[in-house]
Structure 1
Amino acid sequence: MPERKSYHHGNLRQALVDATLALIEEKGPNGFTLAEAARVAGVSPAAPYRHFKGREDLIAEAALQGFEIFADLLQHAYDGGRPSPLAAFETVGRAYLHFARTQPGHYIAMFESGVSVAGNPELAQAAARATSVLDEAAQTLTAHLPPDRRPPSSLVSHHIWAMSHGVVELFARGAPGARAPFSPEELLESGIGVYLRGLGVITD
């Protein structure tokens, strides 16, 4: 059980989000109640209802904050495609893995809690900002391909997103290297390389 925290007046909403993130990491997104989040935050069971309708609403806020952090991180990593589109794309992949490792509560709330992104306009906007970084990177990488061989950039970005998520789920959780003789970074970068060569983006 996460350690009980002393709540200081003035930041109840964030105290509850922080408690939720700790509980998600320990028990998963469905393994705790709203009353338990209140207890970890050091407030009464009724206190969360000042800001949230229920547990799902609280998890959605954790996911929203996660997507905002995630989008900022990916944008910083991409850095406008510098020093080259391919190098920037690889840096974005490493940033994805870094986020999953360092923000596990947010990551689970975003991608594994069942929270409805489409049903929450603010959440959908934050998620779209993160996706747009991958879309821009994919569009830049594939721009030189002949039109008849150029896949939609959104298709490429979603393929890379799926590959990144798979590496996180299979190889970046728990002890790194425990299930493969390669690091998650090596697995992701080599996988991206094979994929981009198959598209003709990389020819050497």
Structure 2
Amino acid sequence: MAKRGYHHGNLGQALVDAALVLIEQKGPQGFTLSETAKAVGVTPAAVYRHFEGRDDLIAEAARQGYEIFADLMEYAYRKGQPSALASFSATGRAYLAFARKHPGHYVAMFESGISIRRTPDLESAASRAYGILERAAADLAEHIPEDRRPPAALFSSHIWAMSHGVVELFARNSPGTTSRFPPEDLLETGIGIYLRGLGLIPPD
């Protein structure tokens, strides 16, 4: 009687889930496919039926992360409606919330060195997430006189960079970086200063 092969309900996803734990624990370059296979209970050869290598596995983790991230951004954007200011601020805070709740995905997306152009599906998911913040910026920019109105892409990139900086320095327990203020307050006040500079909210 022939020996039956290993059967898994969804081995591809199980490998991604295991990789996310390893990424969080060891970083995107600190684990091997063999470790991932061992965590799931399959041979290393089984991994190659789903992924050509570690980078492909990380890219899939990043793609799934961007899908979750985009859904969270969309929810934040819609929750702030009909106020353009509330929607814009909410999408900034959503970045911080995502990084805290999904650290493995966050690292795969932003710290692995994997290009969002590695696969069409990864690029599409990333573009959807970026597009929501740009949409929120465009809505808010409508309240700025046209002769002083920055491009929505520039506007949203500033807030993206500010959110990313707060996450990297103060929300992920980075060595040697501490603040007396909660990350949420740092981000909120930073966005407030930026928006005051554009005349979108009155001075204190």
What TM-score do you get using the length of structure 2 for normalisation? 0.91
Quote how far apart the aligned CAs of 1:80 are.
Answer: 6.6
**1:183-194 alignment runs, 5 A limit:** 183-194=182-193
| 1:47 lines up with 2:46 in the alignment | yes
Quote how far apart the aligned CAs of 1:180 are.
Answer: 0.8
Structure 1, unpaired ranges of 5+? 1-6
Tell me what 1:67 maps to: 66
Alignment partners' CA distance in 1, 2:80 and 2:98: 20
Alignment partners' CA distance in 2, 1:160 and 1:91: 11
**1:96-111 alignment runs, 5 A limit:** 96-111=95-110
Quote how far apart the aligned CAs of 1:113 are.
Answer: 0.2
Tell me what 1:152 maps to: 151
**1:1-204 alignment runs, 5 A limit:** 9-79=8-78, 81-174=80-173, 179-204=178-203
Tell me what 1:4 maps to: none
Quote how far apart the aligned CAs of 1:144 are.
Answer: 2.1
Alignment partners' CA distance in 1, 2:104 and 2:46: 22
Quote how far apart the aligned CAs of 1:122 are.
Answer: 1.1
Verify the 8 A CA contact 1:63 1:106 in the aligned structure 2: yes
Verify the 8 A CA contact 2:96 2:163 in the aligned structure 1: yes
Provide runs of 4+ in structure 1 moved above 6 Å: none
The letter for the 1-side match of 2:123 is: A
3-state secondary structure, aligned to 2:44? coil
Verify the 8 A CA contact 2:116 2:123 in the aligned structure 1: yes
What TM-score do you get using the length of structure 1 for normalisation? 0.91
Q: Sort the Cα spacing of 1:171 and 1:135 in 2 relative to 1 into closer, same or farther, 3 A.
A: same
When structure 1 is superposed on structure 2, of 182-191 and 117-126 the one drifting more is 117-126
Verify the 8 A CA contact 1:81 1:137 in the aligned structure 2: no
